[in-house]
Amino acid sequence: MSIDLTFDRQHLWHPYTSMQNPLPCYPVICADKCTFTLEGGQELIDGMSSWWACLFGYNVPELNNAVKQQLDKMSHIMFGGLTHQPAIDLAKKLIEITPTSLDKVFFSDSGSVAVEVALKMALQYWHALSQPKSEFLTIRNGYHGDTFGAMSVTDPKGAMHELYHQFIAKQRFVSQPKVRFDETWDPTDLNEITQQAEKHKHKIAAIILEPIVQGAGGMCFYHPEYLKGVRNLCDKHKLLLIVDEIATGFGRTGKMFAFEHAQITPDLLCVGKAITGGYMSLAATLTTDIVAKQISAGKAGVFMHGPTFMANPLACAVACANIDKLLAFDWQSKVAEIEDLLKQFLAPCAQLSSVKEVRVLGAIGVVEMHKIQDIETIQAKFVAQGVWIRPFAKLIYIMPPYIISIAQLKKLCVAIYHVISV
């Protein structure tokens, strides 16, 4: 039986597309390792790790087994008033691979919700101190999710959420860091955020940002000293620091978490996407004993949040297996190898007049064009080349699974060059 693309086009609303004139969708029938197969039999190399989630590709035996074993015991149980071993095991693993002070774990069902949880924790923390603060400070060109709180700290100017700017809470934004990851550090890059923090410290509950790598807001890599300076600012003015590692966590930048490049520790940490290896939707917000105790000592006496699928046992079980696999895998060497190969294979793109810049960090490769790309046209060209790469705006980027072969990675990069050089 073939996939009903007519029904799909008429009734299924895909992300970031129109129902009146939707972008074409390619029918997938199966996936294995670093490739997936379309209905007609064409095999595509996956350059996106399914939106950065599938660290080890598809059909991973250890992850398959974890789901099967847990399924026979319990697929779901509410987390209100109940608990279970997969959640306990996963919390232990997260605490073990993060800084010592981050020892309180709140599970949710998506990265965007993990950010909402962090924002609410920050607000409730100050409320419990009888010092209510209602604003957040962040940097432009960031991205934190599509729910309302997350949208409010995502750059509203010229971004995907500009349409909603009159309906979301107004937050404070400063310019994007100017000094890139591999450039010589200039302390003046911190001037604007320093001024804003000092001027509005009595209103700001927390500074929130994506560490080192700004994801969907522009795929820019900024200097670790900027993040270190922000941590110092928070310490000086007694602000909370929220770090959004939804896209960068679990080794993607060459460190287990991107904030490690700056050798700092946040007060709240959001993780998601790759936590389950792409098998289930799951996220977590980690925080400190200080924050947790203060919230619990407040007027409410509890943290006011509770997702229905919080700590879903299936998701927790596969996340445990995924983290075990990651820790047993020489991911540091593999990510370093991918970084070297991306720099080598994408270098020819930098010579094209249509290309503004090529940048690489860890297992992330970005080709920034001068002009916005026609997604439908360029997507079809990539499929014709036998690869799956989904650009947005001016950015053509890849974040491949860690198990990708050299030949597969080269094919992805050669396809980018071939498509944009025509």
Predicted confidence at residue 167, as pLDDT, reads 82
Q: How many domains is the chain partitioned into structurally?
A: 2
**125 in active site:** no
User: Both 122 and 266 in a single domain?
Assistant: yes
Q: Is 143 a catalytic residue?
A: yes
Say yes or no: 269 and 231 in one domain.
yes
Looking at the structure, tell me whether residues 249 and 304 fall in a common domain.
yes
Residues 322 and 339 in one domain: no
203 is catalytic: no
Catalytic one of 8, 16, 235, 293? 16
Tokens 């992330």 label which residue?
364
- Asked if 47 and 133 sit in the same domain, the reply is no
Catalytic residue among 93, 133, 255, 273: 273
Q: Are residues 89 and 226 in the same domain?
A: yes
State whether 334 and 296 are in the same domain: no
- CATH number of the domain where residue 190 is located: 3.40.640.10
Could you confirm whether 417 is annotated as catalytic? no
Q: Per the residue annotation, which of 120, 244, 402, 417 is the catalytic one? A: 244
Single-letter amino acid, residue 90? L
Mark which of 290, 310, 328 sits at the end of a domain: 328
Q: Tell whether 251 and 307 lie within a shared domain.
A: yes
pLDDT score of 159: 62
Residues 270 and 319 occupy one common structural domain: yes
Helix (H, G, I), strand (E, B) or coil at 362: coil
Q: Of 277, 294, 328, which closes a domain?
A: 328
- One domain for residues 288 and 243: yes
DSSP H helices in 15-172: 49-52, 61-73, 85-97, 111-128, 148-152
Please pick, among 58, 125, 143, 417, the residue that the annotation labels catalytic.
143
Contact 38, 26 (CB under 8 A): yes
Averaged pLDDT, groups of 10, the chain, 422 residues long? 92 91 94 97 98 97 98 97 98 98 97 97 96 96 92 78 78 96 97 98 98 91 98 98 98 98 98 98 98 93 94 98 98 98 98 97 98 94 97 95 98 98 88
- pLDDT of amino acid 158: 62
Domain that holds residue 155: 64-328
For the chain, what's the residue count? 422
Alpha-carbon distance values, 36 to 49, 92, 232, 278 (Å): 11, 33, 45, 14
User: Are residue 335 and residue 321 in the same domain, yes or no?
Assistant: no
Domain boundary among 328, 358, 387: 328
Residues 101 and 160 in one domain: yes
